Amino acid sequence: MYELDESKYLYLLGILPVLVLIYLINLWWQRKKQREFGNADLVKKLAPTRSVFKPVLKLVVLLLALSCIVIALVNPKIGTKTETVKREGIDIVFAIDVSKSMLAEDVAPNRLEKAKQIVSQTINQLGNDRIGIVGYAGSAYPVLPITSDYSVAKMFLQNMNTDMVSSQGTAISDALELAATFFDDPQTSKLVILISDGEDHGEGSAEAAKAAEEKGIKIITVGVGTKKGGPIPIKQNGITQSFKRDNQGEVVVTKMYPEQLKEIAEITKGGYVYGNTSREVTEYVKNALENIEKTEFESKEVSLYESQFQWFLGGAFLLLFIELFMLERRTEWIRKLNLFNEKEEQ
C-alpha cells in the first residue's frame, strides 16, 4: 500500500520532455553549424576524443536526477503496518444567539463576533469530540449537524450573522429543543454550550432546560456583553450610520442579563461563565470537559505510512554528482571495446 503526500508536484514531470526537446534542437543546430564548417570526417579529425554517446548519457542521468527530485517533492509513503484506532469524546452543540442585540459593541468588536471567537478557540481545544452548531433569535435554526470535521465547522461558524433568522428575540427554549435533536447516540455524553447576552430570552427556557437535563444533557452558558449595555449600530459598508431606535424615537440600549443564563446552567448541573475574555471561557470549558465521561465513538483499522522521499532525494544527489564528473570525451577502456562503433576505420 502506498499514498502520495503532495501529488500536485507530479505536474513538474512535464518539464522532462521539454528538456529533451531543447536538447534535440540544440543537437540539430550543432550539426548544422558543423556542416557549414566542413564535412563530418574533418570534424572527427579535429575532435578525435569527442564521444557521441556521452552527451546522451549525461542527459539521461540529468533527467533521472530531476525525476528523483520531483518524486521526493511528491513524498511517496508506503504502508508498513496497521493499527486499531479508538476515538473517544463527547458530543457538543454550540447554540449561538444571532439576534440583533448581539451587534452591540459594548464588547469588541461586537457581541456576535466575540461569540464566534469563543466558539472557534474552544474548538481549537477539542480532541476527538464531535460538534454541531445551532443559531437562534426569535426561532432556532440548524447551522451544522454533528460532525468531527472542525474545519467545516469553523467555515459555517464564520458565515453566521444576524440576518440568518428572520424573527427577532432570544428564543433560548427553541435553541435547547433543537440542540437536543442533534444527539443521535443515547450512550454518548452530551453538552450544549449556549452563548447569548440573555436579553429578551422568551418563555419556557427553564422548562426546556429541565427537559434537556432529563435526557442527560449538560448546559454551559456563556454571557457576552455588559450590564451597562450599549446601542445597536446600523451600518452601511461597515460604517455606522445610526443606531436602532424604539417607537418613541429613543436609542435602544441593550444590556446583558446573566440571571436567566445562570438558572439554565444550574438546572442541568452545568455552569455559567462570563464570556468577555475568550481565554477564560476556553479554560473553563476545557476543565469542564475533563470531568465529563468520554464515549468511544468508533474503532477502525488504519494503515500507518512512512515517508520515502529521502531515498529519492539521496538518489538525485548521487546522480547529479555522477553527471558533474562525467566528461563528454571518450572513455579509453570503453573505446577499446568499441561498443558504440566509435573507432575510426583504419
Tell me: pLDDT of 335 over 90.
no
Q: Are 328 and 112 in contact (CB under 8 A)?
A: no
Peptide linkage before 55 cis (omega within 30 of 0): no
171-196: average pLDDT: 88
pLDDT reported for residue 198: 83
- Mind listing the pLDDT tens digit for each residue in 238-266? 787 888 888 888 888 888 888 889 999 99
Q: Kindly list the structural domains of the chain, giving each domain's residue range(s) and its CATH number in brackets, ordered by start.
A: 2-75+308-337 (no CATH), 86-299 (3.40.50.410)
Look up the pTM and report it: 0.61
pLDDT reported for residue 186: 78
- Mind listing the pLDDT tens digit for each residue in 38-55? 665 655 655 555 666 778
Listed range (43-52, 70-79, 191-200, 303-312) with the worst mean pLDDT: 43-52
What SS3 class is residue 149? coil
51-70: average pLDDT: 86
CA atoms lying within 13 Å on the CB side of residue 195: 29
Whole-angstrom CA distances from 122 to 85, 159, 284 are: 24, 17, 10
To the nearest whole number, what is the mean pLDDT of the chain? 83
Q: What is the C-alpha separation between 346 and 344, in angstroms, rounded?
A: 6
What SS3 class is residue 8? helix
Q: What is the C-alpha separation between 89 and 284, in angstroms, rounded?
A: 17
- Mind listing the pLDDT tens digit for each residue in 119-171? 999 999 888 888 999 999 888 889 999 998 999 999 999 999 988 877 776 68
Q: What is the C-alpha separation between 192 and 162, in angstroms, rounded?
A: 21
- Mind listing the pLDDT tens digit for each residue in 89-124? 789 999 999 988 899 998 988 999 999 999 999 999
DSSP codes joined into one string, 217-243: EEEEEEE-S-SS-EE-EEEETTEEEEE
Q: Other C-beta atoms within 10 Å of 276: how many?
A: 18
Element spanning 86, H or E: strand 76-89
Angle, CA 63 vertex, CA 57 and CA 69 arms, to 5°:
140
